[in-house]
Amino acid sequence: MYYCNMYFFKTKLRVRYAETDQMGFAYYGAYAQYYEVGRVELLRSIGISYKKVEKMGFALPVVNWNISYKKPAFYDDELTIKTIIKTPPSKTFVFDYEIYNKSKELLNFGQVTLMFINIKTKKTCNAPQAIVDSVKRKLT
């Protein structure tokens, strides 16, 4: 199904010293955590929390993570993480990302795919209808 709309949420954070490498750049692996911060805050903005998802009996492990780096971030840079959803979840939930510095320069972009897992059976399953409906309300 095609949705002409998308929903995005912006989150700000600062690069901490512990997240930098010997060159003074934000270490490439820190971006997985930055993306997670953006994802958690986007979900919270539509009334969904990971805690709530787990209480419903589901887990959301990452099954694919892609990123393209354009420019580095440095210690104490204020970053804006733009997290985007374009379609409602099904068995998977796909998030797109763009990270900008304070000068609004694009530093990187990426995509993360999560999969719904039933906690009791440890098997993949469809997204709960309540989550699908919450996302659809934002996309229309």
Residues with a known catalytic role = 21
Q: Which residue in 107, 98, 34, 103 sits closest to 70, CA to CA?
A: 107
Q: How far apart are CA 121 and CA 68, in angstroms?
A: 35
Beta bridge partners of 21: none
What are the angstrom distances between the C-alpha of 13 and each of 38, 39, 60, 83, 129?
A: 10, 13, 23, 13, 32
Rounded to an integer, what distance in angstroms lies between the CA atom of residue 130 and that of residue 121? 20
